[in-house]
Amino acid sequence: MPYKAEGDPLTAKIVFVGEAPAVAEIHGPFAGPAGFVFNDCLEAAGILRSDCYVTNLFDFRIKKQKGKSDIFNLDGDKLWSDTKEGFTELGQQSVERLGNELSRTTANIICPLGAPAFRAICSGRGITKWRGSILPATLQTISGRKTVPSIHPANALHGQYITRYIIRSDFRRCKREAGFPDIRRPPYKFNLRPTFSQSLEALEMLKGVGKYACDIEVAYIAPESDPRGQVTRISYAWTEEDAISIPMGDGGWTLEQEAHLWHSTAELLELKGPIKIFQNGIFDCQVLFFIHGILVADRIEDTMIAHHIIYPDFRKNLAFLASLHTDQPYWKGMVKHG
């Protein structure tokens, strides 16, 4: 007998969509061990469960093969979702059922919990990469509605205690985003293809600011190039919205222009006074010194080290930091999700 969703679709402030009922969830979603984690994360985020609409992608129990993510019916003879190919024809019926159900809700934010719900609502893959991102739904009946995907609370069981703190962070974002229906992106002013004069002007301007972030990109552009790689871009940001990315190596400059840019870069980075912010700066600074002879002057701050001091057990890559501390979506897929 199919279980019933929980909450009022017309008054709920947040919609949560899980995967499928567990053994203890015959009469409603998130009633078993995963439900304890779910409730804990709601409480930590300051969300009342009574203010939520909670449902599942599949309204019946499912079966997974050990070590795999393919989804079968409980008898194991019908495939509903293939890890690589996505939902089967049977699985698509559940996606359509979910779409009809969600179309009757009015909440400003929908939170898909886990990979299957994320794929159904946002057509996305890689929940650990996309979790925490603010994205428009792609499911036809709710297309464009705001979503914040997160990890399924069941993943916090069996010793994965770190996961619940990540879910809490995502739920806090859901609570903030529940106050308005639109997706609000910062008014970025990024210059990704600067002219030679714009590059020089930016390097000169940065000498006068008190703090800026710096990041390099390194690639192996030719067989005879330095085995340690070659800097192909140096990017700077001096406010939350303003940034410039200056191409190097294969940037289309003349030899004289590139020499001029490197000279100005050295003057800027070797200038004492301005705070220079890096992510894993020990890599950037070593490349700049050993390959280009630029000794970055203090004071240097590092977001990866700062994050590790606060959260020593968490991952430290830039995408993960951005998902916790900013509203920036997972940028490697921004073309797809706008």
pLDDT over threshold 50, residue 338: no
The pair of structure tokens assigned to 15 is 């919609």
Q: Which amino acid is at 192?
A: L
At residue 337 the predicted structure's pLDDT band, cuts being 50, 70 and 90, is: very low
Q: Tell which wins on pLDDT, 290 or 23.
A: 290
**24, 31 in Cβ contact below 8 A?**
yes
Q: Which amino acid is at 13?
A: K
Segment 62-120, tens digit of pLDDT: 666 665 666 666 656 666 566 776 777 777 888 898 999 999 999 999 999 998 899 99
Q: What is the pLDDT of residue 336?
A: 44
pLDDT over threshold 60, residue 242: yes
Segment 222-236, tens digit of pLDDT: 556 555 568 999 999
Distance from C-alpha of 245 to C-alpha of 237, rounded to nearest angstrom = 9
User: What is the share, in percent, of the chain residues with pLDDT greater than 70?
Assistant: 86
Q: What is the pLDDT of residue 101?
A: 95
Q: Is 170 exposed, middle or buried (0-12, 13-18, 19+ CB in 10 A)?
A: buried
Q: Where are the domains of the chain?
A: 14-184, 189-305
What DSSP designation does 53 have? E
Q: Which fold has domain 189-305?
A: Nucleotidyltransferase; domain 5 (3.30.420)
CB atoms inside a 10 Å sphere around CB 9: 16
CATH number for 14-184: choose from 3.40.470.10, 3.30.300.30, 3.90.79.10, 3.90.920.20.
3.40.470.10
- Residues 321, 327, 329, 334, CA torsion sign: negative
pLDDT over threshold 90, residue 139: yes
Q: Which of 52, 330, 24, 291 is nearest to 171 (CA)?
A: 52
